[in-house]
Amino acid sequence: MSDHDELEAKFFEERRALEDKYQKLYQPLYTKRYEIVNGVVEVEGVVSEPATEEADKAAEGVPNFWVTAMKTNEVLAESIQERDEEALKYLKDIKWSRVELPKDDAQKGEASKGFKLEFFFDPNPFFTNSVLTKTYYMIDEDEPILEKAIGTVIEWCPGKCLTQKILKKKPKKGSKNSKPITKTEAVDSFFNFFSPPDVPEDEEEIDEDAADELQALMEQDYDVG
């Protein structure tokens, strides 16, 4: 290992320690944000006029905080469709954390480090999951190279899926089948974020054009995360 490599390794080691240190220092701020947004605590200095019990309950916390915050991010805003917003109003918190695979898995050549995003939702009419997770596994965390991403399978309530639409066509005249023909079609939605592109285990399985398209999709997915 050259002197430059040794210094670079030392730099990455100290940077990781510094990031871990400040992540712990940030945590009380994130906890306070959660409590304010979800009405767990009252904000000091805010004086409100007397209101009905129903109005007080509706005004607790900061309504639509996360969907509003997400739409201020240029990359995220492009993925959020109008029909997604109603579901995102039930989002109550987002958490980030590091992940590391067990040594046995890492020794098999799999990515050993990465990070996880957790989206916590209140009970809602769209899906039954209380937490939607997206995990990114990196080949090299210091020079971020994404190996793969894994998302939660969303358990949609009947008729509430936001990532697909149902198309019904009338049967052709003279057809023996009188029932409408039904098929589903994928549509743009923020919730496609939890269904990242599949990466083939064998690179020889895809041609160059498909590989370029997959790379672009993975980069876009990583940018959103």
| Residue 48: inside a domain | no
Reported as a pLDDT band with limits 50, 70 and 90, residue 105 is: low
Nearest to 70 by CA among 62, 78, 59: 78
Under DSSP, the state recorded for 2 is -
Reported as a pLDDT band with limits 50, 70 and 90, residue 121 is: very high
pLDDT > 80? residue 67: yes
pLDDT in tens, 3-58: 888 898 888 889 888 988 998 999 999 999 999 999 998 776 555 555 445 445 44
Q: Among 38-42, 62-66, 154-158, 217-221, name the one with the lowest average pLDDT.
A: 217-221
| H and E: helices and strands count for the chain | 7, 6
Domain interval for residue 26: 1-42+59-63
**Are 34 and 117 contained in the same domain?**
no
Number of compact structural domains in the chain: 2
Reported as a pLDDT band with limits 50, 70 and 90, residue 157 is: very high
| pLDDT recorded at residue 5 | 83
**Are 34 and 116 contained in the same domain?**
no
| pLDDT recorded at residue 206 | 52
The strand order across the sheet containing 131-140 reads 91-100, 113-121, 131-140, 145-151
220: burial class by Cβ within 10 Å (0-12, 13-18, 19+)?
middle
Q: What is the pTM of this model?
A: 0.77
**Are 118 and 25 contained in the same domain?**
no
- Which has more pLDDT, 94 or 218? 94
Question: Domain with 196 in it: what CATH number?
Answer: 3.30.1120.90
